Amino acid sequence: EDQVTQSPEALRLQEGESSSLNCSYTVSGLRGLFWYRQDPGKGPEFLFTLYSAGEEKEKERLKATLTKKESFLHITAPKPEDSATYLCAVPRSSNTGKLIFGQGTTLQVKP
Amino acid sequence: DTEVTQTPKHLVMGMTNKKSLKCEQHMGHRAMYWYKQKAKKPPELMFVYSYEKLSINESVPSRFSPECPNSSLLNLHLHALQPEDSALYLCAKSVGGIGNTGELFFGEGSRLTVL
């Protein structure tokens, strides 16, 4: 069964304190792993696509990496404006238009 | 252009009302989506339109009725809703088509409250 699990559920950091968010997945024939950021009351904002183990993508203070079983979102020297819920998702194994989302990690960065 | 515009931003309706949510986007797409999101939960897929035809209905109750009048517009008609239908309704598009479903561009959502 396709499954995506994110940890931790919530993370509090001080400004400048680097950390990582985890996304573990179980899916047959991975066709991409996707990271989104969601601010309260807003729609998710697409961040990264990763397709193969070893791939890395970077955007400002964020770096996403992928292995055969999990993905990490590394946050380097975070700022309060990085506070948000971060969602990862994979397409369902059957070739349909459905994404399987993890439950998300809510990040709070304190000044 | 990845912009997706949803109206209204907030909607309060009674259980006997009929209302509609609208979604508009420009500059092309191949698939458009309706998602429902409850507080502190990830988005849940409701419907997918591919090339303006309904491709996926995730067993959504018939009190939700989607419509795609043209390539720029997507509507969600609401009728006889229940209080548990209160949620954030999100519209999204993907440029890559239904088979490339991961890079979605979402609107800001319509916050629905059913009394």
Going by C-alpha positions, the residue among B36, B41, B102, B88 that lies closest to residue A9 is: B41
A34 and B102 within 8 Å at the Cβ level: the answer is yes
CA distance A10 to A110: 13
Q: Which of B42, B90, B105 faces A87 most closely, judged by CB atoms?
A: B42
pLDDT at B33 over 70: yes
Q: CA-CA distances (angstroms) from residue B10 to B21, B70, B87, B88, B112?
A: 10, 24, 10, 9, 6
pLDDT at B28 over 80: no
Question: According to the model, what pLDDT value does residue A97 have?
Answer: 72
Q: Which of A33, A42, A104 faces B108 most closely, judged by CB atoms?
A: A42
Q: Which residues contact B47 (CB under 8 A, 6 or more apart)?
A: B33, B34, B54, B56, B57, B58, B60, B66, B76
pLDDT tens figures, B54-108: 998 999 999 999 999 988 899 999 999 999 999 999 999 987 665 566 789 999 9
Q: Which residues of chain A have pLDDT under 70?
A: 95
Q: What percent of chain B has pLDDT over 90?
A: 71
pLDDT at B27 over 80: no
Question: According to the model, what pLDDT value does residue A88 have?
Answer: 97
Question: According to the model, what pLDDT value does residue B30 have?
Answer: 77
Going by C-alpha positions, the residue among A45, A44, A48, A78 that lies closest to residue A61 is: A78
Return the higher-pLDDT residue of B104 and B2: B104
Q: What percent of chain B has pLDDT over 70?
A: 90
CB B65 within 8 A of CB B77: yes
Residue of A nearest to B106 (CA): A43
Residue of B nearest to A103 (CA): B42
Q: What percent of chain A has pLDDT over 70?
A: 98
Question: According to the model, what pLDDT value does residue A66 have?
Answer: 97
Question: According to the model, what pLDDT value does residue B81 have?
Answer: 94
A41 and B31 within 8 Å at the Cβ level: the answer is no
